[in-house]
Amino acid sequence: MATVDVDLPHVKDEDPHHHGPAKGLGRWLYTTNHKDIGSMYLIFSLSMFMIGGIMALIIRAELFQPGLQLVEPNFFNQMTTMHGLIMVFGAVMPAFVGLANWMIPMQIGAPDMALPRMNNWSFWILPFAFLILLSSLFMPGGAPNFGWTFYAPLSTTYAPESVTFFIFGVHIMGASSIMGAINIIATILNMRAPGMTLMKMPLFVWTWLITAFLLIAVMPVLAGVVTMMLMDIHFGTSFFNAAGGGDPVLFQHVFWFFGHPEVYIMILPAFGIISEIIPTFARKRLFGYSSMVYAVASIALLSFVVWAHHMFTVGMPLVGEVFFMFATMLIAVPTGVKVFNWVATMFRGSMTFETPMLFAIAFVVLFTIGGFSGLMLAIAPADFQYHDTYFVVAHFHYVLVPGAIFSIMAATYYWLPKWTGHQLNETMGKLHFWLSFVGVNVTFFPMHFVGLAGMPRRIPDYALQFADFNSMASVGAFIFGFSQLVFIYNVIQNVRAGEKATAQVWDGAQGLEWTIPSPAPYHTFSKPPKVD
């Protein structure tokens, strides 16, 4: 990003007609303010993270030892399914939308999102989607138990009755995501401050712009596939029913055509966040800004032609296997460029290691480990051994937990002083970081080993040879899970009190958001700043 020079008087000269937030519950119900909506998204995401986390702990508690101790296999399957759905659609995606709401207008010098009423609507339908999904736990036959990938016909002919509620919930989440994405694109393309050309935008804005296009492209595909399921279940069609001339593999193709871009929806904004944080704490401009943008764009484009690498064992023709193997390996190139650029940014910088930077560095290391296992999984013949084992579980948790989740935590610590006006408590932040870092690795690293040794995923009980690493992973999971209470404490504490933060907050930070006071006033950039 080019150096930003801001005309500060415009910011201080607040319009006297502007008023603060409304009082009481109405503020939150009717708000069209991007900061309020951003906060609601983030709080919602944090609550879902806790609920999904409790489910993860139930799973890890059952897997602490071989044998069935705590839950029945059917309930175990409900837990794995709900954990996945809640973490993907309830925790990670809304967190990024919340960050986008807060930061995109402030980073591009816009007064609010382009479509504020739709913004309110796209948030407020989300809690209902998850109430519907969670209520299925109390229905006869139980909650969805067919995995977050809900392969037909297990999720159609053989599904519990609550599958219809699940489909309804997915439709609502999809509508929410699509509206959010439209809003973000409209904001970025139309509301940038004068002088902020596309290639001057902060990388968080760039990655979100590309992510939003991915969302618009694939959420309708998800809506399509669940609608086909609905037709199969209730209206006698046979899209996925072999007995009626349908094709169960079609389900997987359609699902993963959504599912693979979805994976990048959960990681591209993280790339943006890390690309903001590392230059700040290295006090050096991001290395290779344009190659970062092109890398994100190529990852996004490639994500549309790699979906069947989730299906190497499904019995595809040889030429299909080879194509999807090659295409998948190609993704390693732009991803590698990003990692190299982050490292080059640190090289010959002047680094300090505040909490956001610690999370960002952990992101680079652990996400790269997840990337390496991803590269191994791309090798189709070897994937026949890895597929549907704990090796895959280890891989995607490495890119999602110390990947996406760490980036969200890094972003929270990075921008929290701007939101609340209070400096971070570094001691507590570092405590949270080190507990999480140890917890995450003790949980997920041993999963590589049991996976390679032959433990399938999604099983409530396992052969004795996997026992030791499983108990280790369970211990790690409880460390990681409970250390998030420190995170909640840190956030609440920071909202309530703390040393007064300056506008700049971090001495190496660059960008428009650091030109406005901390806490950011309810309305910012009512008059656009000028960017040179």
Partner 1 sequence: MSKAFTLALSLLSTPALADWQLNMNEGVTALSREIFDLHMLIFWICVVIGVAVFGVMFYSIFKFRKSKGAVAEHWHENTTVEVFWTVIPSIILIAMAVPATATLMDMYDTSEADVDIQITGYQWKWRYQYLDEDIDFFSNLSTPREEIVNESAKNPNYLLEVDNALVIPANKKVRFLVTANDVIHSWWVPHFAVKKDAIPGFINEAWVKVEEPGVYRGQCTELCGKDHGFMPVVVEVKSEADYAQWVADQKAMKLAMANEASKKFSMDELIAKGEGVYQAACAGCHQPNGQGIPGAFPAITGSAIATGAIDAHVDIIVNGKTGTAMQAFKEQLSAADIAAVVTYQRNALGNTVGDMVQPSAIQK
Q: Which residues, numbered 203-242, are part of the site for partner 1 (CB under 8 A)?
A: 242
Beta bridge partners of 260: none
**For residue 39, which amino acid is it?**
S
Pick the piece of the chain touching partner 1 (CB under 8 A) from 51-59, 118-126, 190-198, 375-383: 375-383
In the complex with partner 1, the residue whose CB is nearer, 392 or 516, is 392
Which residue of 332, 438, 486, 495 would you call a contact of partner 1, by CB under 8 A?
332
Least distance in angstroms from the C-beta of 381 to partner 1? 4
Q: Are 104 and 155 in contact (CB under 8 A)?
A: no
Q: Tell me the number of residues near partner 1 by CB under 8 A.
A: 98
37: how many CB neighbours lie within 10 A of its CB? Answer: 26
Q: Is-catalytic flag, 523? A: no
> Which residues from 241-280 bind partner 1, rule CB under 8 A?
242-243, 246-249
Give the x-and-dash track for 454-473 against partner 1 (CB under 8 A). Answer: x-xxxxxxxxxx-xxx----
> Which residues from 380-409 bind partner 1, rule CB under 8 A?
380-382, 384-385, 387-389
Q: Is-catalytic flag, 19? A: no
Q: Is-catalytic flag, 262? A: yes
DSSP conformation class of 201: S
In the complex with partner 1, the residue whose CB is nearer, 291 or 526, is 291
Q: Is-catalytic flag, 457? A: yes
> CA 488, CA 437: separation in Å to the nearest integer?
16
Q: Is-catalytic flag, 176? A: yes
Write down the catalytic residue from 177, 207, 407, 443: 177
Check residue 25 for interaction with partner 1 (CB under 8 A): no
Least distance in angstroms from the C-beta of 90 to partner 1? 21
Which residue of 190, 199, 372, 434 would you call a contact of partner 1, by CB under 8 A?
372
Write down the catalytic residue from 41, 102, 264, 419: 264
In the complex with partner 1, the residue whose CB is nearer, 407 or 484, is 407
Residue written as token pair 């309930």: 75
> Which residues from 499-528 bind partner 1, rule CB under 8 A?
none
> CA 108, CA 196: separation in Å to the nearest integer?
7
Write down the catalytic residue from 192, 200, 284, 310: 310
Give the x-and-dash track for 120-149 against partner 1 (CB under 8 A). Answer: -------------------xxxx--xxx--
Write down the catalytic residue from 262, 276, 321, 513: 262
In angstroms, the Cα distances linking 151 to 233, 375, 383 are 14, 24, 19
In the complex with partner 1, the residue whose CB is nearer, 457 or 527, is 457
Write down the catalytic residue from 122, 136, 155, 275: 275
255-291 burial: b if 16+ Cβ within 10 Å, else e = bbbbbbbbbbbbbbbbbbbbbbbbbbbbebebbbbee
Q: Are 500 and 421 in contact (CB under 8 A)?
A: yes
Q: What is the DSSP string of 413-452?
A: HHHHHHHHSB---HHHHHHHHHHHHHHHHHHHHHHHHHHH
Which residue of 17, 236, 318, 496 would you call a contact of partner 1, by CB under 8 A?
318
Give the x-and-dash track for 50-89 against partner 1 (CB under 8 A). Answer: ----------------xxxx--xxx--x------------
Q: Are 337 and 271 in contact (CB under 8 A)?
A: no
Non-local (6+) Cβ contacts of 109 within 8 A are 192, 193, 196, 512, 525, 528, 529, 531
> CA 378, CA 388: separation in Å to the nearest integer?
14
Least distance in angstroms from the C-beta of 71 to partner 1? 12
Q: What is the SS3 assignment for 139?
A: coil
Write down the catalytic residue from 31, 80, 155, 176: 176
DSSP conformation class of 360: H
Non-local (6+) Cβ contacts of 199 within 8 A are 289, 290, 293
Q: Are 269 and 403 in contact (CB under 8 A)?
A: no
Least distance in angstroms from the C-beta of 482 to partner 1? 26
Give the x-and-dash track for 151-190 against partner 1 (CB under 8 A). Answer: x-xx--xx-xx-----------------------------
Q: Which pair of tokens denotes residue 529? A: 């700043």
Which residue of 64, 204, 287, 367 would you call a contact of partner 1, by CB under 8 A?
287
Q: Are 50 and 116 in contact (CB under 8 A)?
A: no
Active site residues: 83, 112, 148, 176-177, 260, 262, 264, 275, 309-310, 335, 338, 457
